[in-house]
């Protein structure tokens, strides 16, 4: 199969392909999604096959507006209206209990709840409208690899396996959406993202809880997808604390490691190592934006023994950045002792 790259003037054609059951990757503000009509179980099955995604990991249903969730949702949490008004379109996925048989168990992993999001990307919202159906859209990468933040990343992983990719340049945020469970009495964050705990608490004036897995790694996560080792490049990644860079570099030199560096300009300016991916600036926003691109680039830059990566404090957006980085690093920090 030839994988076509679509520009915005080809939206009608891309929507037609989706209606015919084909897979088309789409841009969002977080990462690129692998789109299929959520109401065509055979197409949704293909999404799992193409990605190599475990079938117990349910998909997010992407909608063009809140109205589109209504045929599926059994009951909305009392905070829903306020949350949707404030955060949609945006990087916030909401979990609701659903009406029996309203969505295929292939989409929901057989759960009685489902995940919904309205992405903040004009072209993709138009694509959903033109398809006249919600779209499933897991990250458009091979399962276990860093999520794609450009159409080129999608092409690299899925060329020949999907009908097309709607290209809209690099995504803005760079990591997947926050997943907020609204199926119980109290809202719980199952996956941290750009809509942070702090932001939600400020807007909603209520305490937002974290899934116990986010507090203690060994606990079973409520979001099935969170249990998988995600986002891992082939080269081992070591996280380096701010104070430990000198020693990490010395350790690498002493042990003749070919080191790659993933960090902001202030850290990068101090060290000359083989391969480098420098974030746009020293902020956590820039680091989050560059995290997956950086991991991919360094992994392909052949021959590094280890990727040394910058850490951030685990609050606000830093919680999302560190959640993904820890998975890429299989929890490993450079240990100066
Ligand atoms: P992805 O599409 O790869 O960004 O992953 C979607 C995330 O949402 C995964 O971690 C899923 O396990 C999670 N998810 C989707 N539906 C549900 C649900 N009904 N309950 C809990 N987690 C869900
Ligand atoms: Mg994914």
CB 236 within 8 A of CB 259: no
Distance CA 324, CA 239 (A): 12
Q: Tens of pLDDT along 75-126? A: 999 999 999 999 999 999 999 999 999 999 999 999 999 999 999 999 999 9
The C-alpha atoms of residue 281 and residue 265 are separated, in whole angstroms, by 6
| Ligand 1 pocket check for 115: Cβ under 6 Å | yes
Is the confidence at residue 230, as pLDDT, over 70?
Answer: no
The ligand whose atoms approach the alpha carbon of 323 most closely is: 1
Q: Which residue is closest in CA terms to ligand 1's atom 20?
A: 223
Is residue 17 helix, strand or coil? helix
C-alpha separations of 335 from 16, 235, 238, 240 in Å: 53, 18, 9, 8
Is the CB–ligand 1 distance for residue 73 below 6 Å? no
Tokens of 96: 């609701």
Q: Which of 246, 235, 232, 284 is nearest to 263 (CA)?
A: 284
Q: For residues 99 and 73, is the Cβ–Cβ distance under 8 A?
A: yes
Per-residue pLDDT, averaged over 145-167, amounts to: 97
Residue with CA closest to ligand 1 atom 7: 225
Could you tell me which residues are beta bridge partners of residue 178? 92
- Pairing type for strands 306-310 and 237-240 reads parallel
Ligand 1 contacts CB of residue 308 (under 6 A) = no
Which of these, 155, 128, 23, 3, lies nearest to 67 by C-alpha position? Answer: 128
Whether the predicted model's global pTM rises above the 0.95 cut: yes
**Does the structure show a pLDDT above 70 at 154?**
yes
Q: Which protein residue has the closest C-alpha to ligand 1 atom 22?
A: 223
Q: To which H or E segment does residue 256 belong?
A: none
Question: Which helix (H) or strand (E) element contains residue 43?
Answer: helix 41-51
Q: Is 148 in the pocket of ligand 1 (CB under 6 A)?
A: no
Helix (H) or strand (E) segment spanning residue 96: strand 92-97
What are the pLDDT digits (tens) for 176-217?
Answer: 999 999 999 999 999 999 999 999 999 999 999 999 999 988
pLDDT of 337 above 80: no
Task: Report the 10 Å Cβ neighbour count for 246.
Answer: 12
The residue to which tokens 């990991």 are assigned: 57
Q: Which domains are seen in the chain, by residue range?
A: 4-210 (3.90.870.10), 237-328 (3.40.50.11030)
Measured from the CB, is residue 301 less than 6 Å from ligand 1? Answer: no
Which of 57, 145, 320 to probe ligand 1 with, by most ligand atoms within 8 A of CB? Answer: 57
Q: How far is CA 154 from the centre of its chain?
A: 13
Q: Is the CB of 235 under 6 A from ligand 1?
A: no
Residue 8 in tokens: 């915005």
């Amino acid at each position: 199969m030839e994988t076509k790259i679509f520009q915005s003037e080809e939206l009608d054609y891309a929507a037609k392909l989706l209606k015919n059951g084909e897979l088309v990757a789409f841009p969002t503000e977080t990462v690129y999604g692998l789109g299929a009509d959520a109401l065509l179980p055979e197409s949704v099955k293909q999404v799992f096959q193409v990605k190599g995604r475990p079938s117990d990991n349910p998909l997010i249903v992407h909608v063009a507006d809140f109205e589109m969730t209504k045929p599926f949702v059994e009951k909305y949490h009392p905070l829903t209206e306020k949350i949707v008004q404030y955060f949609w379109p945006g990087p916030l996925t909401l979990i609701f209990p659903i009406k029996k048989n309203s969505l295929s168990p292939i989409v929901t992993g057989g759960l009685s709840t489902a995940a919904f999001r309205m992405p903040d990307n004009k072209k993709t919202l138009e694509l959903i409208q033109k398809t006249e159906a919600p779209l499933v859209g897991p990250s458009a990468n091979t399962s276990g690899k860093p999520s794609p933040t450009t159409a080129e990343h999608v092409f690299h992983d899925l060329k020949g396996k999907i009908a097309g990719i709607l290209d809209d340049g690099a995504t803005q945020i760079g990591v997947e959406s926050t997943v907020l469970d609204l199926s119980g009495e109290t809202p719980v964050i199952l996956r941290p993202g750009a809509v942070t705990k702090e932001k939600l608490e400020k807007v909603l004036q209520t305490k937002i809880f974290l899934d116990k897995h986010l507090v203690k790694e060994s606990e079973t996560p409520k979001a099935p997808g969170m249990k998988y080792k995600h986002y891992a490049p082939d080269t081992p990644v070591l996280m380096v604390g701010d104070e430990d860079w000198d020693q990490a570099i010395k350790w690498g030199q002493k042990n003749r490691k070919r080191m790659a560096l993933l960090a902001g300009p202030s850290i990068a300016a101090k060290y000359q190592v083989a391969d480098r991916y420098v974030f746009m600036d020293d902020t956590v926003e820039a680091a989050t934006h560059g995290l997956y691109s950086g991991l991919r680039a360094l992994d392909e830059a052949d021959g590094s023994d280890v990727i040394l990566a910058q850490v951030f404090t685990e609050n606000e957006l830093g919680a999302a950045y560190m959640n993904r980085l820890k998975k890429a690093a299989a929890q490993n920090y450079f240990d100066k002792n």
